[in-house]
Structure 1
Amino acid sequence: MKGSLQKKAYFKRYSAFVADSRVKFRLGARCCRNAAAQCRLLLRPPALPEPSRKDTPMTPLETFQSQKWQAIEAYQAQRNPLAFFQAHTQAADTWIASVWAAHFADAGLCLLAIGGYGRGELYPYSDVDLAMVAADEPDAAVQENIARFVQALWDGALKPAVKTGSLQQLLQAADEDLTADTAFLEARFLCGDRALAERAVNALNLRRDTVSFMDGKLLEMQQRHDKYAGFPLEPDVKNGAGCLRDIHTMLWLARAQGLHTDFYALARDKIITRMEAGLLRSSHRRLAQIRIELHLAAGREENRLIFDLQGTLAENRDLCRPDKQTGIEHLMRDFYRTAKTVMQLNGILIPMLRERVSLPYPRIVHDLDAHYFQIGNKIAAKDLLLFQKQPAHLFILLQMWQQHSDVNGVAPKTLRAWWAAARKTDGAFYRNERHRALFLQFFKTGKGLTHIMRFLNLYGLLAKYLPNWYKIVGLLQHDLFHIYPVDDHILTVLGNMRRLAMEEHSHELPFAATLMHDFPQPYLLYLAALFHDIAKGRNGDHARLGRADARQFAEDHALPEADGELVEWLVGEHLLMAATAQKEDIHDPDVVRRFAEKVQTPERLAALYLLTVADIRGTNPKLWTAWKAQLLQTLYRSAHAYLAGSLHTVLPENRQQIAHNALKVQGTDDKTIRRLFAMLGEAYFARFPAETAAWQLGILVRDPEAACFDIRPGDAEGSLQLFVYMPDRDRLFSELCELFAALRLDIATARIFTTEHQYALNSFVLGLPEHSNDTDRKHAESSLHRAMTQFMEGCWQSKAPSAAKPSRRARWNPIAPHIGITETEGGQFSIEVVAANRPYLLADLSRIFSRHHIRLQYAKISTLIDRAEDVFIVHAPQLHEAAAQRLLRQDLQAACTGHLL
């Protein structure tokens, strides 16, 4: 008796938790997280005593709950998703049948399991899809009984999704709704009138237009891929490209044609090969494991591999050795490679299934050459053994595709034969000189290059040809701004480079497109794009290692020496221009000189600029802003002028003369100009560009002793320029940083200058929040003007920093703060801070500088999504001492980790 009471107490506690959880899941993220935490505690319920003959038998609900948790425990021990589905589905069938028997005694209704439940693929927290079919429209009494039946299922911790109606109503719903028709495709009898159920299923199958159904599912698949493509780092295991829905779609297309939906049965029917059946089965198993474990870890239906759960799944799989990041990397790489396998099979099997019903194009066939013919818009081989007999045709097929603009793909049987041969290639394939020449020709031709490289990557031949490529397939980058795995990032950069060469896209980036048009050998830029990150994930400097790979490739493919050197140099220095533009003062003549001397030639400069633009745009769409475009263009023009020997406009004495001329045009007399220049000192013209100096001096000349500020639109879209002129004081810069943070304005660049008479002349470029329009800019300018007026009058009330949490990505992919302190050529110090970004970080850093008596002279602020990379040029003689540097590092480290005292 005691054992029975323990069992009932456990099940009562579990049922109360489930009912309470459903409420909590509707109350918000915090309650949801609490419920999930409780659920995880219940994943291993307390051991229950074995029932004895004297124990009270368990109710059907208790039996279902016990069987479900036994299925979960068995899965956790064996990680067999098929066994879990079988046990979970069978438990649900039994429980639902018992509830049905308690509510429906007559035979006027039937109950069908449909959708995933009908398929027997019931995940821990998935909806249970059901259809209740009546011969005629149910009356009020039956409808009331149906409502009680559904409520009883909810009380049993199921999430029923029930379609009800007469047979005619359900047939009409299937005609009008593709999702409903798909769900009925997997209908399975559960309870009630079996004859009615068979009549319903037969009627549904007879009414289905197979061609329309397949067209609808293929369009739905494309729309689904587009919808979920925006989450590459947190992929949806159910709906993303190459995920479970793609496998289901293949099986739906087969079932709609009356075929088996077991993988090996399809192989026996010669629809797919045994190898393809094995790959589909193993891919489905891996994806199903991830989805089951996501549900269990979240304690609810969760189909996305969100950052919060990636570490949990990696730990549960015992992958986190030597550290958690390594475990996440292994988990995600396994996922990406599995998804790629499904996409490979999709490209072969779905067209083959589609062609069994009808062709989507007129069957126009004509020869392309002795080996290939074109059928519709697909290229096909006359001999399917061609690729094994002559491996060069693995590339020749794609070359034919590249040459014929009306070809947009490979016929499915040819693709199957091509892939089978590609999988058998080895190192000898790369060493063949003809193969090398064919591969290089892809880049020299240019047209269709991105599609061909993506095709080679998808089907694995790129990793066979370039062995180091395999190491980056599906490799994540834990830097808080790359959103693609490395291989996808590289191919996106390559696509961006090709886009610059296409006239129809020249309006997007006119300056870069002009440089690309004038570049003599674009194929060298394409090769540099292919190799620029190929060494990621290896121990060491990826730019240096990639440079060695590029050098070897150039030698193997007999590139002219100068061409090989350019590709090698671009790969080795591909970060140079972005780092200079984002971390240094590009208006400083010394910075421009050092950069130009590293580049050496105008051809290298143009090539590096184009690669940098393509790289940033291929890292994360949010990273490319008008401000970054303007920075890179300014650096390019200054460096080009230096290399051409015409950099005189950036020299301080020339800036001073330009400013003098501008003030004269305004009617300012020479005496006033000389007095103003004396107050500012010569260093002012080394710090500020000529155009900025002319703007500021035009205001200061009115009354050099009066504190003032001015705001104007920035050179880049979505930015404002502000300069502040007032008596200098401690923490002035820090207070301004707090003001900007309160207004949600990001500092892109800050120039801090102190005049000869101890006035601060601080200049800022401020970025508006993302997606701001002209109205937003005007509102931001008005708010800034109002706040600055209060600040200058001493009435601005600094708001306490909010305890804002870092983003989920920053929380689960943390970066260790980096503090770099180096002495510059001019005796100043450069302090570089790299950390996870957060509100008021810059204000905290500036307070630390004040505390350590460090005079800030220039700041270059770079925010890369969730990552801050800030560089400060400071005057601090005390930093020559190691002890002072150590204390400063400690405080900056504390600020970066949110532990500032």
Structure 2
Amino acid sequence: MQAIIQTALDNLITQKQQAINDYHAKQRPAVFFARYGRALRQTLSLLWQHQFADSSLCLLATGGFGRGEIYPYSDLDLAIVSEQTLTEDEQDAISHFIQTLWDIHLVPALKAGSIDELCESAAEDITGDTAFLEARFLAGNEALAERFLHKINLQRDTASFIEAKWVEMEQRHAKSQGSAAVLEPNIKTSPGGLRDIHTMFWIAKAQGLDTFLSLSSSDDILTHTEVTMLLDSYKQLAAIRINLHLAAGRQEDRLIFDLQSQVAENMGWQEGEQRIKSEKLMRVFYRASKTVTQLNGILLPMLRGRVYSLLRQFVGLIDDHYYQIDNQIAVYDKQLFTREPEHLFKILEVIQTHNDIDTIAPQTLRAWWAATFKIDQDFYNNPTNRQRFIGFFKHGEGLTHLMRFLNLYGVLERYLPAWKNIVGLLQHDLFHIYPVDDHILTVLRNARRLAMDAHSHELPFASALMHGFERQYIIYLATVFHDIAKGRGGNHAIEGIGDARRFAADHFLDKEESEMLCWLVEDHLLMSSVAQKEDIQNPDVISHFCERVKTQERLTALYLLTVADIRGTNPKLWNSWKAGLFETLFHAASHRLAGGKDNRHAMISRRQQAATDQLNHAGTPEKQQKQLWRMLGSAYIVRHELRDILWHTANLIHHTDQPQVRCRLLDSDGDALQVMVFMPNAPRLFARLCRIFNHHNMDILAARAFVTDHDYILDTFTVQMPPQHTPGDYLDIQSALEAEINNFVHGYDTTENHATLRPVPNSRRSRHLPIAPVIRLTSDQDNPDWYTLEIVAVDRPYLLADIAEIFSAQDISLRYAKISTLGERAEDGFVIFSTALANPKKQLALKQALFEQLTV
């Protein structure tokens, strides 16, 4: 047997290397899959003949192997099927077979069991069911394989399968932050990646459409041109993934920085005059993934619409050109967009003003997309088109979705030529995680969230400012133009002024609006730079800052743009401490702009007086206060903000010669902790204190070191709580940290080792003029298990109570509700928490239960 294994290994190595050599030379994914797949089948057949010669079992290729898409270091998806429950001898033989596969350097992912057991497993597991959808016979009892595949395919409920794969895709996209445009994308699972292509064809195959060509010949699901685009994108993505595996020498699906250059070089790209080879590679990926996403928007809804829906269909008239199908908008005449190009924006205007419509029907989308390729200067010069485009920003609702849609289908770069240069443009600065176009749209999304009641709990102060800001559309436009000039060379903030000014003049903004927009573009980095790089406790810094800002309105707009921009750069860069930093600068500048005249002396007096008032209120003797101020000195007051001074002095007043440690949470969420350490000065204290924080897995966000006149240190740290802990653990974490630092300051140094639902009839009006119910469930990209649920429906008595009953029945926690009733129309928003909704079937069950209530 050992000789057989060695022979199998030698043959497999030889044939695999030949396939790899041929691939390096010609870069043909389909040929590699065929040659490597054939080598694997021969090897498995040889091993099966020697280990299961007298067996009645059968061996199947499933998943990627069954699909004929096996990458150099992918798992080997297999299934062994028996007629009845496996005997002990059969189980031992299968274990030996698996070990043999490991011995020849394969990575088997194998399911084994009887027909009934495997069918039952697939019924409960959508991933397993999908793998068997692509199963192929390899060896053994072929009649058994046919019976099994017939039974498992017969039991599959096509409608449920499609809905589950749809939800699965949405969840996968949410985990990728809704975009493939990250600097280290996953070729397989990112939006627009290979898994999206697989999803299209799983859904098609479940309906009996097995090949690319069948999609173009069955009911015009895809045109031949679209099939060609899809095949080209698939080849590009597959080629990148093969090269990625070969460059890594292992299964690796993320285009990590370490491998990008090697993959690009293997694919034939070299350094150019302006772009490095990795950037060329990434732009190819972005273009391919963008095409997949574009076609996804057409193909998946068409395939979904071919199967009986689990929910009843709503059809309604909108006007002479448009009608509504459920939550989609459709056009009567597919030539409308070519004949009257103004409708390219008109249809989006209709969507934005109809809360029960959120997308374009696939056939209409195909016609709309084809017509957008003719957007030119004449289209831009049309005042109607300009009015509609600026109207998107002034209306605000659904703006982020609309702009992402226009970017996805290439309209932004045709309407705004400057946009073309930033599509897929990488930012090699170690803190941006998005290409420029996706970063801009993420900043826009952040700004919009500040204006939405459902998200006001995230950043209450910024949300309050946004709600009181009259011209929100100026901030939205500033997010679009603040980085639009990147990649041109020179200062992008200065270069972008011209783009913003031309846009403002062309889109009917008045002089004041134009000036504010241009100033925000020019100085969009000002607040970030001042807050993070300068001492904002210094009155001179605040004075110079206000000289640039000039007005309270500009200050508010700049603050809101800065918050949105930083949160859109990299979510990990934003925390409660940084939020407090910008708030401090905002308040100081606001005070100054309102007429406050702080100089250094006045600032010292004001802060010291506030602390003195607090101490007097507590009944502290004047003698002790004077002793404290002598010990601290005026430099201390200059270097610390007022709230820290009040905290320090309250704790130090009676213990100016005794070591002490104090900790406090900086916010109610317990996101950041502030630590004060007061002790006799000694060598390496600061470094050893930092070790303690590191030992507790805390990031130091800020630190102020100060030495008193009597040679004590007064160090203040702001630290981030450990990410793997929950807010409920924070008090325990705080106590443990405080205990260790207390031991440290007292000489013990360890750092070196260191309901019932009831139907209620709708009103006559709602029965005659119904609206299509809308149920939108979206996961929070930054907070797993948190979801936003939006519902639009006919209002009726007990509607909210019935919805809450559904939450309770499905063990969903309601954390926020915004209820809006417009006549007989309810538009309600909820923030909910549930660990169960990670399961696609649970999401489908929730939507079905809600739909039943909304259509009573």
What TM-score, normalized by structure 1, do the two folds share? 0.76
Aligned twin of 1:819: none
Q: Residues 694 and 451 from structure 1, CA distance in 2 versus in 1: closer, same or farther, beyond 3 angstroms?
A: closer
1:534 to 484, 488, 493: 484
Alignment match, 2:28:
80
Distance 1:552-1:770 versus aligned 2 partners, 3 A rule: farther
CA distance in 1, matches of 2:116, 2:700: 64
What pairs with 1:107-122 in structure 2 (closer than 5 Å)? 108-122=56-70
- 1:392 matches 2:342: yes
Q: What letter corresponds to residue 479 of structure 2 in structure 1?
A: A
Aligned pairs for 1:791-830 (under 5 A) are: 796=749, 799=752
Structure-1 residue corresponding to 2:811: none
Asked if structure 1 preserves the Cα contact closer than 8 Å seen for 2:701 and 2:720, the reply is no
Q: Which runs of 5+ in 2 are unaligned?
A: 755-856
2:457 equivalent in structure 1: 507
Identify the match of residue 547 of structure 2 among 594, 597, 619: 597
Q: Which residue of 2 aligns with 1:213?
A: 161
Give the superposition deviation at 1:514: 1.9
In terms of Rg, which structure is larger? 1
Of 394-403 and 266-275, deviating more is: 266-275
Q: Distance in 2 between matches of 1:728 and 1:799?
A: 18
Deviation at 1:376, TM superposition (A): 1.7
Aligned match of 2:638: 686
How far apart are the structure 2 equivalents of 1:438 and 1:225? 30
Mapped contact 1:714–1:765 kept (Cα < 8 A) = no
Q: 1:353 aligned to 2:306? A: no
Conserved? CA contact 2:663–2:738, under 8 Å: no
What is the Cα-based RMSD across aligned positions, in Å? 3.3
Matches within 5 A, 1:251-290: 251-261=201-211, 263-269=212-218, 270-290=220-240
**What amino acid is aligned across from residue 713 of structure 1 in structure 2?**
R
* 1:316 counterpart = 2:269: no
1:653 maps to which residue?
605
Report what 2:76 is aligned to. 128
Q: Which residue of structure 2 aligns with residue 713 of structure 1?
A: 664
Q: Structure 1 residue 362 and structure 2 residue 304: aligned?
A: no
Question: How far 1:257 sits from its partner (Å)?
Answer: 1.8
Distance in structure 1 (CA, Å) of the matches to 2:653 and 2:142: 94
Structure 1 position 792, deviation (Å)? 5.1
Does residue 473 of structure 1 match 2:423?
yes
Mapped to 1, the partners of 2:142 and 2:187 lie a distance apart of 35
**Does the Cα contact within 8 Å between 1:725 and 1:759 map onto a contact in 2?**
no
Give the equivalent residue in structure 2 for 1:615. 565
Deviates more, 1:141-150 or 1:111-120: 141-150
Q: What is the alpha-carbon distance in structure 2 between the residues aligned to residue 797 and residue 255 of structure 1?
A: 63
The 2-side partners of 1:670 and 1:99 are apart by 92
Check whether the contact 1:748–1:764 (CA below 8 A) recurs between aligned residues. Answer: no
Aligned-partner Cα distance in 1 for 2:608–2:224 = 78
2:9 and 2:665 mapped to 1: Cα distance?
67
Looking at structure 1, the residues matched to 146 and 643 of structure 2 have their Cα atoms a distance apart, in angstroms, of 82
Partner of 1:565: 515
1:638 aligns with 2:588: yes
Deviations 1:415-438 (CA, angstroms, capped at 9, x unpaired): 111111113323433333322211
Worse-superposed segment, 713-722 or 542-551? 713-722
- In structure 1, stretches of 5+ residues that fail to align are 1-10, 17-58, 802-901
> Kindly tell me: are residues 481 and 108 of structure 1, through their superposed partners in 2, closer, same or farther at Cα, counting changes over 3 Å?
same
Q: Report the Cα distance in structure 1 between the residues aligned to 2:46 and 2:271, rounded to whole angstroms.
A: 47
Distance in 1, matches of 2:52 and 2:450, equals 68
1:339 to 282, 286, 289: 289
Any conservation in 2 of the 1:337–1:473 contact (CA below 8 Å)?
no
Distance in 2, Cα, partners of 1:85 & 1:131? 20
Distance 1:517 1:671, change over 3 A: same
Aligned to 1:766: 718
1:206, distance to aligned residue in structure 2 (A):
3.7
Post-superposition Cα deviations, 1:408-461, rounded to whole Å, max 9, x if no partner, equal 211110011111111332343333332221111100111111111111111111
Q: How far apart, CA to CA, are the structure 1 residues paired with 2:130 and 2:609?
A: 76
User: For the Cα contact (< 8 Å) 1:67–1:91, is it kept in 2?
Assistant: yes
Secondary structure of 2:716's match?
strand
Three-state SS of the structure 2 residue aligned to 1:357 is coil
Would the aligned equivalents of 1:314 and 1:324 in 2 still touch at CA under 8 Å? no
Q: Using a 3 Å threshold, how does the CA distance of structure 1 residues 163 and 536 change in structure 2: closer, same or farther?
A: same
Matched with 1:871 is none
Letter of the 2:573 counterpart: L
Look up the SS of the partner of 1:397 in the other structure.
Answer: helix
Task: Indicate the residue corresponding to 1:420 in structure 2.
Answer: 370
Percent of residue pairs bearing the same amino acid type: 50
Q: After TM superposition, give the deviation of residue 774 of structure 1 in Å.
A: 6.3
Aligned partners of 2:115 and 2:744: how far apart in 1?
A: 73
Deviates more, 1:67-76 or 1:252-261: 252-261
2:135 corresponds to: 187
* Separation (CA, whole Å) in 2 of partners of 1:139 and 1:773: 47
Match of 1:159 in 2: 107
The answer for the alignment partner of 2:323 in structure 1 is 373
Deviates more, 1:89-98 or 1:164-173: 164-173
Query: Residue 173 of structure 2 aligns with which residue?
Result: 225
Does 104-113 or 615-624 show the bigger shift?
104-113
1:503: Cα distance to partner? 2.5
Task: Give yes or no for contact 1:711–1:720 (8 Å, CA) kept in 2.
Answer: no
CA distance in 2, matches of 1:727, 1:97: 76
SS of 2:162 mapped into structure 1? helix
Superposition pairs of residues 695-774 of structure 1, within 5 angstroms: 695-698=647-650, 701-702=653-654, 706=657, 708-713=659-664, 715-716=666-667, 717-723=670-676, 737=690, 741=694, 746-753=699-706, 757=709, 759=711, 762-771=714-723
Higher mean C-alpha deviation, range 680-689 or range 337-346: 680-689
Pairing partner for 1:92 from 40, 52, 67: 40
Structure 1 residues 330 and 143: CA distance shift in structure 2, 3 A: same
Aligned residues: 745
Alpha-carbon offset, residue 96 of structure 1:
2.4
Q: Which residue of 2 aligns with 1:433?
A: 383
- Which amino acid in structure 1 is aligned with residue 395 of structure 2? T
Match of 1:545 in 2: 495
Corresponding letter in the other structure for 1:91: A
Residue 288 of structure 1, CA deviation: 0.9
List per-residue Cα deviations over 1:491-542 (Å, max 9, x = no partner).
1221221122122332332222221121111111110111222223332222
- Amino acid corresponding to residue 225 of structure 1 in structure 2: H
AA matched with 1:767: V
SS at match of 1:765: strand
**Counterpart in the other structure of 1:816:** none
Kindly provide the CA deviation profile for residues 186-220 of structure 1, in whole angstroms up to 9, marking residues without a partner as x.
Answer: 23333344444444444444443322322232233
Counterpart contact for 1:747–1:767, Cα < 8 Å: yes
How far, CA to CA, are the matches of 2:137 and 2:720 in structure 1? 59
Closer/same/farther in 2, CA of residues 153 and 677 from structure 1, 3 Å limit: closer
SS, match of residue 442 in structure 1: helix
CA deviations on 1:454-502 (whole Å, 9 max, x unpaired) are 1111111112212222222233333333333322222122122112212
Contact 1:718 1:773 in 2 (8 A): no
Mapped partners of 1:712, 1:181: distance in 2: 53
Alpha-carbon distance in structure 2 between the residues aligned to 1:528 and 1:519: 14
Q: Counterpart amino acid of 1:266?
A: L
Alignment CA distance shift 1:718-1:217 (3 Å)? closer
Distance in structure 1 (CA, Å) of the matches to 2:119 and 2:691: 63
Indicate conservation of the 8 Å contact 2:696/2:722, yes or no: no
Code of the aligned partner of 1:74: D
Of the three residues 321, 325, 330, the one matched with 2:280 is 330
